[in-house]
Amino acid sequence: MNGKMNPILISSEKIKRYEHNPILSAKDIPYEADLIFNAGVVKYQGKYVMIFRNDYGYIEGSRFKGTNLGLAFSDDGVSWRVQDKPFFSMEDIQDDEISRLYDPRLTVIDGRCYVCFAVDTRHGLRGGIGVTDDFNKLEIISMTVPDNRNMVLFPEKINGLYTRLERPMPVYSRGKDRFDTWLSKSPDLKFWGESSLILPVEAVPFANDKTGPAAPPIKTKKGWLTTFHAVDIDASRGKNGWEPYWKKRYCAGIMLLDLENPEKIIGMSKEPLIAPETVYEATEGFRTNVIFPGGMILEESGEVKIYYGASDTVECLATAHVDDLLELCKPM
Ligand code: BMA
C-alpha cells in the first residue's frame, strides 16, 4: 500500500505507562496460555473485572490450537487475581459454525455487565453482544451479519437509544483492507440501525489502513471521551514477531464525541495517544507494534486508567488525567 517508510510515532507526553507493565501475561494464567491481550475491563460492584483474550497452543504462522476468554478480578485495577477456569472456552461453543470468540469489551449499563466480542464463523466475522450478571454465564443478545467487529457500547442510552461504535469491513467498496469507524443505535440491543460513519481512515493523520473503536467511551462534562485504534501499513517493515510477515502498526488515538449527538466528533488529537515504543510493545511478542486499548476507567480523582493489549501478547496499563486527555482533543 505504501512503499515508503512511515514516520516514527511517539506517545503523548500526557500518558504514563505503569512501571511494572505488563500487568498480565501468559505466566500468570493457571491453564494453557500463550497470548494474553485485548482485554475488556470495568468496575463492577466495587471490584475491577477483566475479561481477556487468551490464544493458546501455538502451532505455526498465525495458527493456535484455540482461543478462550479468561477472567480476572482486582481491588486496585493494577494487581489481578486470575480465576482458575476461563470465563468462556471453546467447549462452551455448541455450534459448528463458530470457531472462536475474542477481543471482549465490557460496559456496565444500569448495573448489568454487557460483553461485546468478535466471532469468527465459517461464513464471516460477526460482532456479538451478550450480558452476564455473575461472570459465569454469558447470555447472547444479538449478533451482526458479517463482516463487522470491534463493537463497544456506550454506558447509557442516549436520547432513549443504546448506542455502539463498530468497525464494519467493506472489502469491495473500499479496497481489501481499508476500514472505518461507524456508530449505530438500538432500542433494545437486538435491532440496530440509524448507522453513520464517524471516523474514516483519511481523518486520522497516523492511519493509512484502518480505524476502529478501542475501549468503550467514558462520559465527561465535555463529551464522550474515547480511544480508537488507528493502523498504518509500511511495506518496508520486514519480518518481526513470530509471524513471517507483519507490516502493520497499531496506535491508540483519542477523540471526543458530542454528548447528545455522539455521531459528531467534537475533538480529536492529530497525534497518537499511545504509539508502540517499549520493548513489550515494539520489539518482543507475537505481532510487534500493536497497541490496542480495550478498557478505560475514569476514577473519582480524575485519573483515567487505560488497559491495552501490547504486541498481541501481553496486557498493559497506562494512566493519564482526564483534563489532559480532554485538552488533547482539539476541535475538528
Ligand atoms: C486484528 C484483530 C485484533 C489484533 C489485531 C492486530 O485483526 O485480530 O485482535 O489485535 O488484528 O494483530
Q: What is the pLDDT of residue 245?
A: 75
Which residues, 6 or more positions from 231, have their beta carbon under 8 angstroms from its beta carbon? 207, 208, 209, 210, 211, 248, 249, 250, 251
CA 150, CA 109: separation in Å to the nearest integer?
Answer: 18
Q: What is the pLDDT of residue 2?
A: 41
What does CATH list as the number for 16-331? 2.115.10.20
Relative to the CA of 250, which ligand 1 atom is closest?
6
The gap from C-alpha 102 to its chain's centroid, in whole angstroms, comes to 10
Q: What is the pLDDT of residue 241?
A: 63
Would the pLDDT of 207 be above 50? yes
Q: What is the pLDDT of residue 5?
A: 67
Q: Which among 206, 128, 124 has a CA at the least distance from the CA of 166?
A: 128
Q: pTM to 2 decimals?
A: 0.97
Q: What is the pLDDT of residue 121?
A: 96
Measured in angstroms, how far is the CA atom of residue 29 from the centroid of ligand 1? 21
Which residues, 6 or more positions from 94, have their beta carbon under 8 angstroms from its beta carbon? none
* Residue 85 contacts residue 102 (beta carbons within 8 Å): no
Relative to the CA of 290, which ligand 1 atom is closest?
6
Q: What is the β-pairing status of strands 63-74 and 124-132?
A: unpaired
Would the pLDDT of 4 be above 60? no
Q: What backbone phi and psi angles, to 5 degrees, belong to 201?
A: -50, -45
Amino acid at 315: E
* Residue 76 contacts residue 305 (beta carbons within 8 Å): no
Q: Which among 204, 217, 317 has a CA at the least distance from the CA of 250?
A: 204
* Residue 287 contacts residue 231 (beta carbons within 8 Å): no
* 210 Cβ inside 6 Å of ligand 1: no
Percent of residues, the chain, with pLDDT higher than 70: 96
* 292 Cβ inside 6 Å of ligand 1: yes
When mean pLDDT is compared across 14-28, 54-68, 110-124, 201-215, the lowest value belongs to 54-68
* 103 Cβ inside 6 Å of ligand 1: yes
Mean pLDDT of the chain: 94
- Kindly report, residue by residue over 109-149, the tens digit of the pLDDT: 999 999 999 999 999 999 999 999 999 999 999 999 999 99
* Residue 37 contacts residue 316 (beta carbons within 8 Å): no
* 149 Cβ inside 6 Å of ligand 1: no
* Residue 292 contacts residue 252 (beta carbons within 8 Å): yes
Measured in angstroms, how far is the CA atom of residue 155 from the centroid of ligand 1? 24
Ligand 1 pocket test: which of 147, 178, 250, 274 has the largest number of ligand atoms within 8 Å of its C-beta?
250
CA-closest residue to ligand 1 atom 10: 312
Measured in angstroms, how far is the CA atom of residue 159 from the centroid of ligand 1? 33
Measured in angstroms, how far is the CA atom of residue 129 from the centroid of ligand 1? 19
* 312 Cβ inside 6 Å of ligand 1: yes
Owner of C-alpha cell 469507524: 181
CA 314, CA 310: separation in Å to the nearest integer?
Answer: 5
Q: What is the pLDDT of residue 7?
A: 87
Relative to the CA of 292, which ligand 1 atom is closest?
10
Q: Mean pLDDT across the stretch 262-271?
A: 98
Amino acid at 249: R
For the chain, the domains span 16-331
